[in-house]
Every structure is written in structure tokens, then in C-alpha cells.
Amino acid sequence: MLYLVPTPIGNLEDITLRALRILKEVDMVLAEDTRTSRKLLDHHGIQARLRAFHAHNEHGVTANLVAAMQGGQSIALISDAGTPGISDPGFLLVRACVQAEVEVVCLPGPTALIPAAVGSGLPCDRFHFEGFLPHKKGRQTRLIFLATLPNTFLLYESPHRLLKCLEQLAEHCGGQRPACVVRELSKVHEQYHRGSLEELITYFRENTDKQRGEIVLVVGGA
């Protein structure tokens, strides 16, 4: 069996009792970064067999992992933070398990996009999740598409690209489009910066120290 186990996006207490039990019981835990995951496991007193599973090796190790599960092993997949498969490795392994008729169980738990959407103050009865925009090829096409969406959309963005992304969004969506920059969810310095795209650009130009941490961009629909 394959378990997909969400892990805290900041506060280490944001993990379910079921997730802790599964991580203790499985034969192996696949981790995006074993050093990061070891800190989480140590914090909760879990001694688990860790193995690296990330974008650079998932194609090469997936078949062997599926074979191990077919042979009776139970494996848990975790990412550095959040739910595996959401802007993190996981899809290839899940697909391979489904094709091989290995049972897949996904536990509910932390992911940055839901609290960002709900806490933004923008409509979230329907929304589009874009994840990370392409850095170069295809970026313009995606921005044009997003600008036309009638519903709220969400992006993940790195701190050093935040201002550029806001400027590009303003160019395509208009500077008065309502938006919210969500930083450091569930952490000590969690912040929601709300306003028009134009106002957010001005704020982050003047407050470069706020261009840090994990960031979710929430933008109102057209």
C-alpha cells in the first residue's frame, strides 16, 4: 500500500494523529529531502526508514518501489511541506501504483492553497489553482489565460520573483484587480497583504524585507 501523508507547511503541530501513526507503522518513508523530514520525524519521536524521492530520481526508482509494495511493503510518501503531488513529486508514483493495482490512500492534511484562498477575503466558492508559473517558456501564455478567468486564481511564487510576478499580473489583469499576498502560512510571521495589484506592488517595493518566506498569490477573477 502507498500512503500519501501531508506534512506541516510551517507549524510542526499541524499534523494529524492518523498521519503520525502511519509514519510509525510503514516499512519505509519516501521524503523529498531526508534532512528536512528527519527533523519532523525526530520532533514527533518517530524512528522511520527514510529514502529520498524527488524530481531528480522519481523516474528511476518508481518501478522498484512499486515492486516492493507488490511484495507486501507499505510505503508513505511525504514532501518537505504540504500534500505530496501538489507542486511536489508524487503523481508518477501514484499513477504507477494505480496501474499496478497497488492500493493508494491519501490522508487529508496541510496544503498552502486552501487557507490562502479562504483567508484572502476573495471569493473562494470556485477558484483556479495554477501552482508555479513557468519561468520563461509559456509564462506569457499562462498570464494571458489567467487574466481572463472569471474566478479567483492562486499561484505559488518564490520570494525573489514576487515583485516581478505582481508587475506582470498588473500588466495583464490591470492594476486595480484585487489580490492578496499570503506569506509564511502557519508560521510565526504569517501575514496576509490585501489590496489591489497596484497597491501590493507599491508595498513590496517599499518593504523589501517582506519579500521572504513561502508565498501564495491570490488574485480576484476578471
Shared domain for 131 and 214, answered yes or no, is yes
Last residue of a domain, one of 106, 133, 160: 106
Contacts of 132 (CB under 8 A, 6+ apart): 87, 155, 156, 157
Q: And the C-alpha cell for 101? A: 493495482
Shared domain for 97 and 120, answered yes or no, is no
Q: Using an 8 Å Cβ cutoff, are 187 and 10 in contact?
A: yes
Shared domain for 183 and 199, answered yes or no, is yes
Average pLDDT, the chain: 95
Q: Which parts of the chain have pLDDT scores under 70?
A: none
In terms of DSSP H, where are the helices of 46-196?
58-70, 91-99, 113-119, 139-147, 162-173
* Predicted local confidence at residue 138, as pLDDT: 93
* Predicted local confidence at residue 217, as pLDDT: 98
Q: What CATH number does the domain containing 85 carry? A: 3.40.1010.10
> Could you give the CA distance from residue 27 to residue 50 in angstroms, rounded to a whole number?
9
Q: What CATH number does the domain containing 131 carry? A: 3.30.950.10
> Residues for the chain: how many in total?
222
C-alpha closest to that of 9 among 209, 215, 219, 217: 215
Shared domain for 27 and 54, answered yes or no, is yes
Q: What's the domain range around 9?
A: 2-106
Q: And the C-alpha cell for 138? A: 509559456
> Could you give the CA distance from residue 161 to residue 139 in angstroms, rounded to a whole number?
13
Last residue of a domain, one of 72, 106, 140: 106
Shared domain for 84 and 29, answered yes or no, is yes
* Predicted local confidence at residue 212, as pLDDT: 83
Domains held by the chain: number: 2
pTM for the whole structure: 0.90
pLDDT tens across 37-60, in order?
Answer: 999 999 999 999 999 999 999 999
